Homo-oligomer: A and B are copies of this chain.
Amino acid sequence: MLFIKKRSKIAVTAGLVAMAFASSVYAEVSLKQATEIQRSLLTLDTHLDTPANLVMPGFDIMQRHSYDHDFNQVDVPRMNDGALDGGFWAIYSPQGPLTEEGYQQSRDTAILRALAIHTMVTAHPDTFGFATEAAQAAPIKAAGKHVVFMSMENSYPLGNDISLLETFYKLGVRLAGPVHFKNNQLGDSSTDPDGPKWGGLSPLGEKFVAEANRLGIVLDGSHAGDETVKDMIRLSKTPIMLSHSGSKAVYAHPRNVDDELLKQLAATGGVIQMNAYSSYLKKLPADPKRNEAFKGFIAMMQQAESGEMTAADYDKMQQMRRKIEHDFPAVKATFEDYMEHFLHTLKVVGPEHVGIGADWDGGGGVEGMMDVASLPKITQRLLNEGYSKQDLANIWGLNALRVLQAADDYAKSLKTSK
Residues of A participating in the B interface, judged by any CB pair closer than 8 Å: 100, 104, 107-108, 111-112, 114-115, 118-119, 122-123, 125, 163, 166-167, 170-171
Contacts and interface: CB of A to CB of B under 8 A. Distances in A.
A284 B180 CA distance: 61
A112 B163 contact: no
Contact of A111 (B111, B122, B123, B163): B111
Contact of A167 (B108, B166, B170): B108
A6 B112 CA distance: 43
A171 B112 CA distance: 7
A294 to B, nearest CB: 29
A167 B111 contact: yes
Identical chains bound together, number? 2
Contacts of A123: 122-123, 125
A114 B170 CA distance: 13
A107 B171 contact: no
5 contacts: A104-B163, A112-B170, A115-B118, A119-B122, A123-B125
Nearest to A124: B122
Contacts of A166: 104, 108
B107 A167 contact: yes
Given A104-B166, A107-B167, A118-B119, 8 more contacts: A104-B163, A108-B167, A108-B170, A111-B167, A112-B171, A114-B115, A115-B171, A123-B125
Contacts of A115: 114-115, 118, 171
Contacts of A112: 170-171
A104 to B, nearest CB: 5
A223 to B, nearest CB: 25
A93 to B, nearest CB: 14
A108 B115 CA distance: 13
A26 to B, nearest CB: 48
A100 B118 CA distance: 28
A100 B161 CA distance: 11
Contacts of A100: 163
User: Which 5 residue pairs of A and B lie closest in terms of their CB atoms, listed nearest first?
Assistant: A122-B122, A104-B163, A108-B167, A119-B122, A122-B123
A119 to B, nearest CB: 5
A170 B170 CA distance: 19
A121 to B, nearest CB: 9
Nearest to A307: B170
A163 B166 CA distance: 19
A111 B115 CA distance: 10
A240 B71 CA distance: 47
